Amino acid sequence: MLEEFHEGEIVGKYVITTPILGEGGTGVVSLAKDSEGKFCAIKFLSVKDNSKYIEHFKTEYRRLIGLSHPNVAKALDFGFYKDFLYLVTEYIEGEDLIHSTYYLTPEAIIPLFLQVLEGLCYIHKNGFAHLDMKPENILVQKDNQKVKIIDLGVAETIGSFKNMGQGTVPFIPPEIVMKLDAEVDARADLFSLAATIYTCLTRGKLPFGLRNNAIKNGAVDYELLNNIVANEPHPRPISDYRRNVPEHLDGIIQGLLMKRPCDRQYKTARA
């Protein structure tokens, strides 16, 4: 994946300036400039071994381009290049949620979390699940403290989920790992967001750290990951690591980290 693109490479109407801005299990994000010289982010989704999903994701991307919300990076364009589908979004310059909140008190962090929920609620209201909520995909802009959810490259319409291994191992919902496709909906994003908030409030403690044992030489052993997820214990309370976390917030996070979607405390971001 790292050698697929290079600086100066032309992809449709865009010129890549930074080949690797970020990387995940299903693709890579590059920084590019459009024909007017404006920066944008391009998420490349590998479909080399999943060609049957090309039309599916083209349909998803067409719908994503219509979305517009202050807390969601705007989707601008999409196309096909080499063995990749790509989605172009506005480039957001900011700091990821963990680094931007590291020295803040829990009370100061809560307004940022609420902005994330506003953006996520909008995504869900329009019929999508993001499917890769993690600290790196939530940016806080330094100049105005506005939060933006980024990387909609694997977002899908709720009810038409195609399991391509979406998500990032420490934050991936159990229903995706265990291929419970019928249950992949807004609750999957809330699980991943809860794992993200847990990691932020504990300053880097992963609620499901044992999952990283399933990563071998940079690749995910999904059979091993499935076994780990099926048997992993419920995470310790956040208050075990940080005493000044409000009890009600700790309880909400614990309720959203339940293994079975039907057992999670809330079903929607608006709740």
What positions carry a catalytic annotation? 132
Calpha distance 87→148 (Å, rounded): 17
Q: Which amino acid is at 49?
A: D
Taking CB atoms within 8 Å and a gap of at least 24, the contacts of 81-84 are 81/11, 81/12, 81/44, 82/4, 83/46, 83/47, 83/48, 84/4, 84/27, 84/44, 84/45, 84/46, 84/47, 84/48
Q: Which residues fall within 8 angstroms of residue 243, CB to CB, at 6 or more apart? A: none
Q: What is the enclosing helix (H) or strand (E) of 251? A: helix 247-256
Scan for tokens 């699940």, then name that residue: 129
> Cα–Cα distances in Å, from 251 out to 98, 186, 234, 246?
20, 19, 13, 9
Calpha distance 92→244 (Å, rounded): 31
Calpha distance 62→253 (Å, rounded): 33
Give the residue among 14, 46, 244 at the shortest CA–CA distance from 154. Answer: 46
| Pairing assessment for the beta strands 138-140 and 156-157 based on DSSP bridges | unpaired
Q: Which amino acid is at 143?
A: D
Residue 253 tokens read as: 């996070």
Scan for tokens 């933006």, then name that residue: 148
